[in-house]
Chain A
C-alpha cells in the first residue's frame, strides 16, 4: 500500500519518523524539507473546502458532524469517513457538531440513513480536501499533482522526497479551485473506515461532561414543567394557578395555546409553570387545578379498539400486492391455517426525556439547544411557533440521551421557544418521564390476519396477509389506514417465493399522535411473517429454519412491483440495493450455525430463529429461551448476524445489534401502551417496564458479514427479528404459539 512512505523513509528515515504522526506528531517535517528547497512561499490561513472540513493553519483539522448522535455512534463514524478520505491524523482532528442549517444537506437523523445515504458524500468531502492539499503542494513544488500523494496529514512527493504538512498547505489550498471530480481511496487503503475505532465521546461519556439537551444552562434561565391535556385534541377550559404561584421558586404560570389536529409537530398546549429550579416547576405544576374539555378522542379505550382493529384485519382490505390464484390455491390445499397477530402501541422512552432550552435575543431571533434528531425541522417548527423566519432561529444540537424516533418530533423544542418568548427569559423545558410516556408519538398498534395453505408435500402454496394499523400519516393529515411507505416496511416487500400471494391493507383510525419508533412497522410485520412461517413449518412437520430457507426460495432479487406492489425501498434505488434472497438466506444460515441449530436442548428450553431485511440490511437472530413449569421466561442467549454491506465501524455495528437485541426484548416481553377514555394509562418504568440487567441474556453474539456491497442501515434493522425469534423459541420450548405482544400478557405455564 505504501511504497511512497518507504521511499521517503529511506532518504531520512529517522527524521521522518520523528517528525510525523507515525512516531509522535508535529509538523517540523515541512520546515525540514522546505528550508532546503527553492519552492514558492506559501501563504498562511485556514482551508475549508466544504462545510464539513476545516484545515487550520497550524495543521489542526476540524470535522463537522451534521447528523445527531443518539447512541448509534455516528459522530465517530462520520469522523472516520472524512478523516480517512482526507488522510488526516486521527489525533489531530476535532469534531464539531453542526447547527441545523440547510447548507449541510439532509440532517434528519432517522431511517438509519446517516451512512447508507451519506457515505459517498462524506467520502467526497474528505477526498476533495485531500486532493486540494495535494494540488497546493504540487503547485508549490512545480511538479504534477499526479506525482504527489496525501498521506497521514501531509503531502509527499516521491521523486524528490519532499513533504509538506497539511497545515503549511492550508492557506494555499484555500486559493485553489475546488475540483469537480476526485478519486476516492481504494478500500484496501482505508485507514479508519472498516476499523473498530473507539468512541470520540468515550471520555465525556465516562466523566459526566457529555452534554445532552437536559444539560443546557443559560444565565438567568427559568425551568419549565408543562401540564398537558391527557387526551389528544382536548382543550383547556379553566385553570386555577393560585396554589402553584404560592410555591417557593415559582416565577410564572403561562398558558400555551391549545394544540390542534392534525397535531403535526406542534406543541400540545397546556399550562406551564416556570420556576428558578426544576423541582419548584414540577411542584408548582402539581398544584395547578385544571379543567379540560377532553374532546372526541376520549372515546378511545384499548380493549374496544383492539376488537375494531381485529375486525378490520379479518375483513377484506384493499389489495396492495397479488400474484397467482389465491382462491384456487386455498381450495386445493391439503391443509390451511389462519392466525391473527396483535402488537400494541409502544413508547420510545429514551432515557433522556425530551428537553430543550431557548433564548429570545434582543433582535427577535431565537437560539435553541435541543436533543433533536432533526434540527432543520426543529428550526422550521420553532420559527412557525414564534412567527419569525427560520433564518432567525439557531438550533444547537446537543447529544441525545437516546432518540429511537421520539426526538425527530420537535414539539418540545417549540415549547421552550414559546415560553422564552412569553416570559422574556431563557427557558429550559424538561419533560418528566410521565410526560414522555403519556404525551408521545406512539408506535402504532397493529393487527394482522394471516392465512396460509400447504399442499400434500408440505409446501406453502398460498399466503394471505392483511395488515391493519393507524398510520403515521394521520399525525400530519387525514389518513384512515396504512400508507404505502409503511406497507413497504416489511410487508409488501415479503421475500417468500410463494406462488399465490396476496397482501391487503386494512383501515384503522388514529386516536393518538402516531410516530415512528426504531424500525417502525417492521416490528410487527416481521413478527407476523416470521411467526406464521414457523407455524406453517409446524403444520408441514418440518424444521422451522429449513422451512424458512425454502420459503425464501432460490437466489433472486425480489421485485414487489412484479406482483403489483408499490415499494420505495427506503428511498434508495432497488437496482443498487436489491432485495437479495441470497444475502437473506446467508445471514439466516450463519445465525443458525452460530447457535448450533438442531442441538438437543433440555426440557423447557428451545431455540427460535427469524430473519428480516429492513433499511437495506439483512439481519437474522436466533434466540435460546427457557420456560419454567410456572411459565417464567428467560432469554438465555442470542445470536445475531447482520449484512449491512460496507460498514464504517464494525464495533458500533456490533453494539447496535446488541442494543437492538435488548430493545427488541423489551417490546417482546414488556412493552405496551394502552389508553382509557383517550388517556394513556402507563406513566413510568413501573407501568412501562423495559429489560434490565437481570433479564438480559448472558451473551448476545454478533457477526457482521464482511461485504463490499453498498452500505445499508444499521441503527434499526436489528430490532425486527427479535420478537419472532423469541416467540418461535417459546414454541420450541413449550409448544405454545404466541400471537400477541407483549409476553407479560401471555401465560406460558
Chain B
C-alpha cells in the first residue's frame, strides 16, 4: 500500500507492506541510511527517529503508523551538522565507531527539546534505551550537558 508521510520536511509516498518497520522503509525504500539497524526489537536504540517530535524505535514501529505524520531522521535535524547536539558531539569527540551515534543524537535531541537542562537522572532515563558497545556513555553524558549549556 502507498503510505504518505513527511520525511525530514518533504512529503513522500512509500509503497510498503503496512507492517514493514519504519526503519526498513526509511533505509530501503526512501534510501536514507543514517538511521541504523542494531537489534530489530527496540532493545538498542540505533534506529531512533522522531515521529511528530517524539523519539521512537523505528525497527519496531510499523510504517503504516506514520501515515500523515512527520518523521525526522539524523539527516533532518540540521542541514549542516549545526544542531547544538551535533556540535557538542564533535567538540567532545564522542564517537568511536559512530554506528550507534545517529540514534544517540536523536534520543538526546528529543530529551533536550522536552528538558532543556536535564539532570543526570533525566539523561539516564532518556538515554538508557540506546546501547553503545564502544562505551562512549561518559562522553555522551558530557555532550548532552554541553549542548544544554550552549542552547540556554
| Nearest B residue to A72, CB-CB | B96
- Can you list 21 pairs linking A and B with CB atoms under 8 Å apart? A73-B96, A199-B95, A206-B86, A209-B75, A214-B33, A217-B31, A276-B28, A278-B28, A280-B17, A351-B36, A351-B44, A404-B133, A655-B96, A659-B134, A662-B135, A666-B135, A693-B128, A693-B130, A694-B128, A696-B137, A696-B138
B64 close to chain A: CB less than 8 A: no
Residues of chain B within 8 A of A685, CB atoms compared: 39, 41, 43-44, 131
Interface contact A277-B29, CB-CB below 8 Å? yes
CA of A225 to CA of B54 in the docked complex: distance in angstroms? 31
CB distance from B65 to the nearest CB of A (A): 15
Q: Mark A687-707, 1 if CB is under 8 A from B, else 0.
A: 000111110111110000000
A338 close to chain B: CB less than 8 A: no
Contacts known (A278-B28, A279-B20); A400 close to B97, Cβ less than 8 A: yes
Instruction: Place the interface of chain B in its size category.
Output: 35 or more
Q: Which of B37, B120, B136 counts the most chain A CB atoms within 10 A?
A: B37
The B-contacting residues of A in range 384-405, CB under 8 angstroms, are 399-404
A711 close to chain B: CB less than 8 A: no
The A-contacting residues of B in range 67-112, CB under 8 angstroms, are 73-75, 78, 80-81, 86, 89-90, 93, 95-102, 105
CA of A560 to CA of B99 in the docked complex: distance in angstroms? 41
4 closest A-B pairs by beta carbon, nearest first, are A208-B34, A662-B135, A401-B99, A71-B97
Interface contact B138-A399, CB-CB below 8 Å? no
A632 close to chain B: CB less than 8 A: no
CB distance from B63 to the nearest CB of A (A): 9
Interface contact A698-B98, CB-CB below 8 Å? no
B38 close to chain A: CB less than 8 A: yes
Total contacting residues, chain A, CB less than 8 A: 70
15 additional contacts (CB under 8 A) given A279-B28, A353-B37, A661-B135: A70-B97, A71-B95, A196-B93, A207-B81, A278-B27, A279-B17, A282-B40, A402-B133, A655-B96, A662-B136, A662-B137, A684-B41, A692-B130, A696-B141, A700-B138
Using a CB–CB distance below 8 Å, which chain A residues touch chain B? Answer: 69-73, 196, 198-199, 201-212, 214-215, 217, 223, 248-249, 276-280, 282, 349-353, 399-404, 430, 432-433, 651, 655-656, 658-663, 665-666, 684-686, 690-694, 696-700
Interface contact A433-B40, CB-CB below 8 Å? yes
Interface contact B86-A350, CB-CB below 8 Å? no
Q: Describe B's contact surface by its main secondary structure.
A: loop
B113 close to chain A: CB less than 8 A: no
CA of A643 to CA of B62 in the docked complex: distance in angstroms? 50
B146 close to chain A: CB less than 8 A: no
Contacts known (A279-B24, A430-B37); A401 close to B98, Cβ less than 8 A: yes
Interface contact A663-B133, CB-CB below 8 Å? yes
B132 close to chain A: CB less than 8 A: yes
Interface contact A692-B128, CB-CB below 8 Å? yes
Interface contact A205-B89, CB-CB below 8 Å? yes
CA of A662 to CA of B140 in the docked complex: distance in angstroms? 13
What is the count of residue pairs linking A and B with beta-carbon distances less than 8 angstroms? 194
Interface contact A352-B99, CB-CB below 8 Å? yes
Interface contact A692-B131, CB-CB below 8 Å? yes
| Nearest B residue to A69, CB-CB | B97
B55 close to chain A: CB less than 8 A: no
CA of A692 to CA of B127 in the docked complex: distance in angstroms? 8
Residues of chain B within 8 A of A210, CB atoms compared: 98-99
CB distance from B20 to the nearest CB of A (A): 5
Cβ contact of B97, chosen from A211, A401, A696, cutoff 8 A: A401
CA of A721 to CA of B48 in the docked complex: distance in angstroms? 33
Interface contact B133-A651, CB-CB below 8 Å? no
| Nearest A residue to B140, CB-CB | A693
CA of A276 to CA of B27 in the docked complex: distance in angstroms? 12
CA of A249 to CA of B48 in the docked complex: distance in angstroms? 25
